[in-house]
Amino acid sequence: MAKRTTKNQSTSPEAIPETQVTVQTSAQPENWSYSRLTDFDIYLFRAGKHTRLYEKLGSHVVEVNGVVGTYFAVWAPAARYVSVIGNFNGWNKGNHPLKVRWDSSGIWEGFVPHIGRGEIYKYAITHESGRELEKGDPFALWWETPPQTASIVWDTWYEWKDDYWMRNRGKFNALNKPMSVYEVHLNSWRRDPSNPERQLSYGEIADALVPYVKEMGFTHIEFMPVMEHPYDPSWGYQITGYFAPTSRFGTPQDFMKLIERLHEENIGVYLDWVPSHFPGDAHGLYEFDGSHVYEHPDIRKGYHPDWKSYIFNYGRNEVRAFLLSNALFWLDRFHADGLRVDAVASMLYLDYSRNHGEWEPNVFGGRENLEVISLFQELNEAVYKEFPDAQTIAEESTAFPGVTRPTYTGGLGFGMKWMMGWMNDTLRYFQRDPYYRRWHQDELTFSAVYAFSENFMLPFSHDEVVYGKKSLVSKMPGDEWQRFANLRLLYTYMFTHPGTKLLFMGSEFGQTSEWKFEGSLDWHLLEYAPHQGMQACMKALNKLYRSEPALYELSFVQEGFEWIDTLDRENGILIYARKGTRIKEQVIIILNVTPVPRTDYRVGVPLEGSWAEVFNSDDKAFYGSGLLNEKPLESEPKTWHGRAASVQVTIPPLGAVVLKYQNT
């Protein structure tokens, strides 16, 4: 292998407690024996209970007997020989062999003096059969920028300045608080305007992204996978470096700074986490030591036919420890506020995307993957024990029961679950010509039947704007004005429906083209009034959502929602109330799903008195027609919708009105 240029070479040692150091003096420093692993570590690892493996395995700069060097430890149970190779030894696999531990753990380890932070390396592994491989470090904290594939000796040392957020994030990250999530793909949110081919650095992204998210009023941001991956078209979902943020945009510390800056503005950070599969790249986890180490050896359980990738062996204890440690790593070292777990359904079902005869039932004859169920329960117990203010969110697309229910009741223990049924029904409904919506109103009302069976997050994610599905605004029917009015109506319905919210980048200003991972969002569209109006509408919706407790305090219980009228299909009107813990703070939402304005429309209200319009999606500031209820509406003692009092409202075309009781 050709010699490569090293990066930022340093010999800063990592402090190690004396009790973890074992040194055997020798004439040759290369033969010094050093280990970070205790007997208890090995016990936990082999039992699948170790949740801090990143403190033990991988590469760590340390000082031994006054000599600074790097300790390497790697799990390769089917290897007969393992060595460290890199520029420091001319990529010669015979120069720095590791020693296999005596305890049958399959871990190889060793101390290499005089190399430190910034050194690039791989493991040269010889399988028992004689097959030779060169692999990156599964626990590497930084990698070369693709297409280069070597690991880099690095650390996660950083002087965090987000103490206020970390002390108080329970106030921002709780399930009874507003949660409006902006989903971002770092590579394509924005590029260098002067050179669209150039990717921005973490710092440059922070300079633009942090003030933008704050201005828009989102409470959280979710980054699509930032972990190191070799192939851009995978969007980051085919990971080779599970413990390293991608080097495409800078160092791990640069990414930490981005998170810190978001925290300084009281914006939470969720990370996409992918325990469902990994690619077969030669330097990655696949056949790591020449055998099926991380992936299941049975192709019926170890290969994913949809993504042509490999599935972790969830029944192998050491693999479970790897995954548990990886989840906690991002919460611990990078101060992430939660993990959105990708492709949960593909993990839960043994027959997922498989035909008859291509899968094997569990011991009870069922299709559920019992090993995955226990892994998720263990994962969520560990996360909420160690980081009680964090959240785990499942992308689970089926009706699997108890995804967000406590593990002690048999549930999986997630904090939230994506409401995929709501997303599909809602988009199907809004794509219909308004004339035909009267016959399909159940596509909107059905979600209330199961809305409180789980803690749901309402997602309009990246998956809905790719592969020919069109952008959200382009899905809407009608001319330009109607498309944007429909989208404003859709978003108002979303932000007033029970559940937390997630919106993919670009959708907030009405991106007209599908998402392109290889280029920037179409920010130039904000030169035009419809897109300016859409962006202003989203700001206003976020402000409304954050300022009205009725929209978030009881998002996951039936008491927070009540239908007022679902029967006026002819006029295309839907009316419902959202309630918080204080009855006089409730709001009423009125949707008009037709392009016909409705004047003096009578609505039953739960409280007598004055009701004021606090939001109208038809505001001229939003590129609407300006058909508003500018004066407070006084109730009349006229029974309507089963209520003793009612008001008369003007409802704009393809618009939504939100009324709030005036507690005078």
Give the whole-angstrom CA distance, residue 144 versus residue 152: 7
Q: Are strands 142-143 and 500-504 parallel, antiparallel or unpaired?
A: unpaired
* Residues listed for the chain: 664
Q: Is 342 a catalytic residue?
A: yes
The three-state DSSP-derived secondary structure of 207-250 is: HHHHHHHHHHCCCEEEECCCEECCCHHHCCCCCCEEEEECCCCC
Q: For residue 119, which of 68, 59, 162, 167 has the smallest C-alpha distance?
A: 59
Active-site entry in 55, 342, 371, 396? 342
Q: How far is CA 503 from the centre of its chain?
A: 12
CA torsion, ordered 505, 245, 418, 393, to nearest 10 deg = -140
Question: In degrees rounded to 5, what are phi and psi of residue 606?
Answer: -80, -15
How is residue 278 annotated by DSSP? Answer: B
Give the whole-angstrom CA distance, residue 583 versus residue 398: 35
Structure tokens at 159: 């002087």
Q: What order of strands is seen across the sheet that includes strand 67-75?
A: 58-64, 67-75, 107-113, 99-100
Helices and strands: H and E segment counts in the chain: 15, 31
- Whether 96 and 112 have beta carbons less than 8 Å apart is answered as yes
Give the whole-angstrom CA distance, residue 332 versus residue 513: 38
Q: For residue 78, which of 120, 38, 26, 133 has the smallest C-alpha distance?
A: 133
DSSP string, 458-496: EEE-GGGGSTT---HHHHS-SSHHHHHHHHHHHHHHHHH
Q: Are strands 587-592 and 655-661 parallel, antiparallel or unpaired?
A: antiparallel
Q: Are strands 67-75 and 58-64 parallel, antiparallel or unpaired?
A: antiparallel
- Whether 105 and 153 have beta carbons less than 8 Å apart is answered as no
Structure tokens at 609: 């008195």
Structure tokens at 547: 């300022």
Q: Are strands 610-616 and 655-661 parallel, antiparallel or unpaired?
A: antiparallel
Give the whole-angstrom CA distance, residue 577 versus residue 41: 54
- Whether 138 and 242 have beta carbons less than 8 Å apart is answered as yes
Q: For residue 154, which of 87, 60, 56, 84 has the smallest C-alpha distance?
A: 60
Cα–Cα distances (Å) from 649 to 264, 348, 485, 600, in that order, read: 42, 48, 19, 5
How is residue 404 annotated by DSSP? Answer: T
Q: Are strands 598-605 and 645-651 parallel, antiparallel or unpaired?
A: antiparallel
Give the whole-angstrom CA distance, residue 606 versus residue 287: 64
Which residue reads 């930022």 in tokens? 8
Amino acid at 200: L
Active-site entry in 119, 260, 272, 395? 395
Hey, which residues are catalytic here? 342, 395
